[in-house]
A and B are shown apart, each in its own frame.
Chain A
Amino acid sequence: MMDTKKSEVLQGTLDLMILKTLHALGPLHGFGIARRIEQVSRDVLQLNEGTVYTSLLRLQQQGWIAAAWGTSEHNRKAKFYSITKRGEKQLQVEAENWERIADVISRVLKLEAERES
């Protein structure tokens, strides 16, 4: 069906999550990244796992992560992704950016709440 996109994560945030995951856990393959995000988000975020791969591609194109073929824990051939130096820098920038925005948004939301009470 067409409308499964409803669970799509906020534009850009998936990139950030993946960068952070790779930064925290070191080289991982796509499946591993998906599991880690699922684990962290519990059931709050519903992720269309396929989008992880397009996101990985985007990050790769920007040179923030690198990919290399390796062997997975199940002894199968898999592509492992790792964060690059440029990626680390980008992660820092984006994380700060995100916190700033999140801060603003939560303050705005609080404002709303005050008026209502």
Chain B
Amino acid sequence: MSTRRESRLRAFAAKVRGFLCGRRRDGEFDDEMQEHLQLLAEKFAAQGMSREDATAAARRQFGNTTLLQEDRRGLQTFSSVEALWRDLRFGLRTLRKNPGFTAIAVLTLALGIGANTTIFSWIHSVLLNSLPGAGQPERVVELESLATSGEWVPTSYLDFRDFRDHLKLVESMSVAQPMALAVGNDVGVERVWSETVSGNFFDVLRVKPEIGRFFSGVERDDAQNAHAVAVISHSFWHSHYNESASAIGAILRVNRTPYTVIGVAPNGFHGSMAGLSFDLWVPATMYGQLTSTGTWMLKDRKNRMFRVLARLAPGATVEQARSELASVAGFMAKADADTNQGMSATLLPVWKAHYGIQGSLLAPLTILFGASGVVLLIVCANIANLLLVRSADRRKEFSIRVALGASPMRLVRQLSTEVLMLATLGSVAGLLIAGWLGGSLRWLLPLTEAPQLQSGAQGGSVLVFTAGLAVAVAALAGIGSALHATRNNVSETLKESGRSGTSGTQSNRLRSLLVTSEVALAVTALIGAGLFVKSFYRVKSIQPGFEPNQVAIAKFNLSAANVDAQQADAFCRQLRERLERQPGVTAVTYADYVPLSLGEGSWEDLQVEGYVPGPSENMKIYRNLVAPGYFELMKIPLIEGRDFTMQDDSSHPPVMIVTTEFVRRFIPHGGVLNRRVFGWGQWFTIVGVVQDSKIHRLTENTRPYFYVPIRQIYRPEMGLAFYLRTLGSVSEAMQSIRRESQGLDAMVPATGVMPLNEWIAGSLFGQRIAASLLSVLAAIAFVLASIGLYGMVAYTVAQRTQEFGIRLSLGAQPREVLGLIVKQGLRFALAGTAVGVALAVLLGRVLGSFLVNMSATDPLIFTGAAVFVILLALVAAAIPARKAMRVDPIVALRYE
């Protein structure tokens, strides 16, 4: 007896042979069987049967030839591969034969998958892959100092050094501070976004140079302003040095100082901030030289300005490192009590860190991802519905196939192949949409100055995500119709063959459920979008406390031009004079900060004469440095005292203007003017009080705030913004700022020139994204649900045409028939709305914290959305219902 393995081997060899020449064998086998049948029939005929009986008897005795063929194929070829190929071809044919169905299904899928893929690629580039190009990025964490209030603050260089030298659970640690640097010669400079970093920055991120080397040896020590060396990015290397090796050793003029290029970062490495790309890295120890501030900035423990990255030591967990850090920070809070009392520090995953765009995008992106998931669910329900309708229409086809011997699994496989094909087509279209929207992340960002965004990642993980989505959608959408097909009762269906009758109650119930949940999801999406839109308008209508219309602003980066305080002052005064001469200009002023910037601005630790702060009271008060005329230009009312004048400069006694909230909190018992306030190591005299205005965001509570003359405190490393109020057009004013500043000093380019009201709109960007994108998603959800509802009602009408014919011929009024249909549509709409409202209430609990000045169960939005959906449901039902009403009884009865 041959062994089992040998016999299997022979069967396999036969299969390979069969697979290679399948068609011919099909024919041969068939011939043989036909021959047999004929002989059998002849035999029976010879026994006296009629020809027909003989043939039938022969067939009975022989058995099912199709099944036998299948068995033979199973023996002779690899049936699964062959079946898949056949399913694919058959599926393609069916899809081509129903172009309408295919187009709708693919478009719907493309919308759903495109939306999800786009948002996933945003999330991927901002949150998931926040350190592209870095090795083992999951071991890199961000270190944040915590102020007494528990709020995060940047870290001072001295604190950084202490952390670096004392933490054992952290392998390496680097500062990484974004900074715009002016690169170029006297003829022209360009602004290059750079990071000032510690010598071991590239070790922390585990990056190897493309060519050259990274910072090494003495360049890594803490000696200030000693190492003028720079690393450039791959794209900078490409655009400036044509990827030539001679770039190493080249001299680059950075902020008017020559730097030597020592290395090129590899392609795909963009620096240490999620979503942003940087082109230049210089040692942080050069900070004083870059900003012409000497050496004090890195020597002042109070000067908290650095972002810090750390790589965990092997085996250490974030929790362990965090508690070690907390104890070191606690020790420092005692040892350096004058500056660090009450302060602490913590470690956060990079995607959770506050510095950078991920902090402000985390919430909106999460909400959007949820909303696009809802849209995808509706898409699934819609596709499932379409498939169910179609499988009801194809019941006869399925029954015949089952009668001919197809197993139920075979049908399920066929249907799954078709759904998967649809999902694949939809995904390809969706990927196209997502690719087209890939760079759209920048729409989400406020109109502030920021480094260039990395182009949207369409890498492997996005493709994997989309493929997974396609399979999930196919499974979700296809399961109903597949189950339905297997439950098909053959003889019942074939008996019905003459009539198109109503489809099974089971499938109808499933479809009603699908339509109802679609409506429910659409209502939820609509309410969600409504809440965010209303919240957005609520925020927009908040008065900022100053008058932003007819004002243009422009920012200047004086530190990049490497000027000292005196040169900066001269620049400001000359530019002001030039701008005041422009036609239509009514006022010009400047300050170091523009209100409603998303950055938190600067604060100073104050002591107010006669006020004793509570034991843990935060006396770090935010401030602005302004030139004379600021309040008049901004139309911030001066309540008492005087404005600053040009005489309030460094040679005159320091003065200060405070806000009404400042007075209410610190000087509640009168005598505000001439009271003294201590800050920056000197006493200021209060000379005026102005009305409160919004400082950081429109939604903030009023906080104490104060102003100091820019000429008394200013240093070039601070910000500088010019304000220009005009009677003419704001864009003309913007033109003149650009022109005049260029004429004054080509080394100090104006950046971020824009109307002040646009700047303020930028501060609303979080709310704006949520409101506008959610509206788009809700609209998609809504359209899809309407299509679903319409399809459901239209299909029922088509099925019941005969019934309506009978009703009408028996004397029913067309109006009654209309009512019948509309009532059915309304039932879905009402049930769906009820569920949707309940879902929205649950959702409101989660989203409530994102809404401003309103409740998450705003009755107007809820009622509005419900009424809107029900009205639309009526329309969606009425269109097919009118058709039913007009049914001609005679035609309907003959219709079969």
List chain B residues, Cβ under 8 A from A48.
61-63
List chain A residues, Cβ under 8 A from B65.
50
With an 8 A cutoff between CB atoms, is A13 at the interface?
A: no
Q: Check A34 against B68 for contact (C-beta < 8 Å).
A: no
Q: Check B405 against A2 for contact (C-beta < 8 Å).
A: yes
List chain B residues, Cβ under 8 A from A34.
36
List chain B residues, Cβ under 8 A from A57.
29, 72, 75-76
Q: Check A54 against B71 for contact (C-beta < 8 Å).
A: yes
Bound complex: CA of A31 vs CA of B44, how far in Å? 14
- B41-76 toward A: CB 8 Å interface, digit per residue (1/0)? 000000000000000000011111100100110011
One of A19-27, A58-66, A100-108 contacting the partner: A58-66
Q: Check B75 against A51 for contact (C-beta < 8 Å).
A: no
With an 8 A cutoff between CB atoms, is A49 at the interface?
A: yes
List chain A residues, Cβ under 8 A from B33.
50, 53
Q: Check A90 against B10 for contact (C-beta < 8 Å).
A: no
Q: Which of these, B1, B63, B68, B72, contacts A90 with CB under 8 Å? A: B1
Bound complex: CA of A47 vs CA of B40, how far in Å? 13
With an 8 A cutoff between CB atoms, is A93 at the interface?
A: yes
B contact face: mostly helix, strand, loop, or mixed: helix
Bound complex: CA of A93 vs CA of B1, how far in Å? 6
Q: Check A49 against B7 for contact (C-beta < 8 Å).
A: no
Bound complex: CA of A31 vs CA of B35, how far in Å? 8
With an 8 A cutoff between CB atoms, is A79 at the interface?
A: yes
- The count of A-to-B residue pairs whose CB atoms sit within 8 angstroms is 65
| Nearest neighbor of B17 in chain A, beta-carbon distance | A61
Tell me the chain A residues, 2-21 only, with Cβ under 8 Å from chain B.
2, 4
Q: Which of these, B11, B32, B68, contacts A61 with CB under 8 Å? A: B11
| B-side interface size class | 20 to 34
List chain B residues, Cβ under 8 A from A51.
63, 68
Q: Check B68 against A50 for contact (C-beta < 8 Å).
A: yes
Q: Check B71 against A61 for contact (C-beta < 8 Å).
A: no
Assess A49 versus B72: contact at CB under 8 Å? Given A4-B63, A61-B10, A61-B11. no
Q: Check A31 against B36 for contact (C-beta < 8 Å).
A: yes
With an 8 A cutoff between CB atoms, is B363 at the interface?
A: no
Bound complex: CA of A50 vs CA of B36, how far in Å? 9
List chain A residues, Cβ under 8 A from B39.
31, 74
Q: Check B29 against A53 for contact (C-beta < 8 Å).
A: yes
With an 8 A cutoff between CB atoms, is A115 at the interface?
A: no
Bound complex: CA of A100 vs CA of B554, how far in Å? 103
With an 8 A cutoff between CB atoms, is A76 at the interface?
A: yes
CB distance from A89 to the nearest CB of B (A): 8
List chain B residues, Cβ under 8 A from A49.
36, 40, 61-63
Q: Which of these, B2, B7, B63, B75, contacts A50 with CB under 8 Å? A: B63
List chain B residues, Cβ under 8 A from A50.
33, 36, 62-65, 68
Q: Check B2 against A53 for contact (C-beta < 8 Å).
A: no
Bound complex: CA of A2 vs CA of B10, how far in Å? 31
Bound complex: CA of A90 vs CA of B71, how far in Å? 23
Which of A34, A50, A51 gathers most chain B CB within 10 Å? A50
List chain B residues, Cβ under 8 A from A74.
39
| Nearest neighbor of B74 in chain A, beta-carbon distance | A54
Q: Which of these, B10, B35, B68, B71, contacts A78 with CB under 8 Å? A: B35
List chain B residues, Cβ under 8 A from A60.
14
Question: Residues of A with Cβ closer than 8 Å to B?
Answer: 2, 4, 30-31, 34, 47-51, 53-54, 57-58, 60-63, 74, 76, 78-79, 86, 90, 93-94, 97
Question: Residues of B with Cβ closer than 8 Å to A?
Answer: 1-2, 7, 10-11, 14, 29, 32-33, 35-36, 39-40, 60-65, 68, 71-72, 75-76, 405
A30-B32, A48-B62 provided; 10 other pairs, C-beta below 8 A?
A2-B405, A30-B36, A34-B36, A47-B61, A50-B63, A50-B68, A51-B63, A53-B32, A57-B75, A97-B1
30 contacts between A and B (CB under 8 A): A4-B63, A30-B32, A31-B35, A31-B39, A31-B40, A47-B61, A48-B61, A48-B62, A49-B36, A49-B62, A49-B63, A50-B36, A50-B62, A50-B64, A50-B68, A51-B68, A53-B36, A53-B68, A54-B71, A54-B75, A57-B29, A57-B76, A60-B14, A61-B11, A61-B75, A62-B11, A63-B10, A76-B35, A93-B1, A94-B1
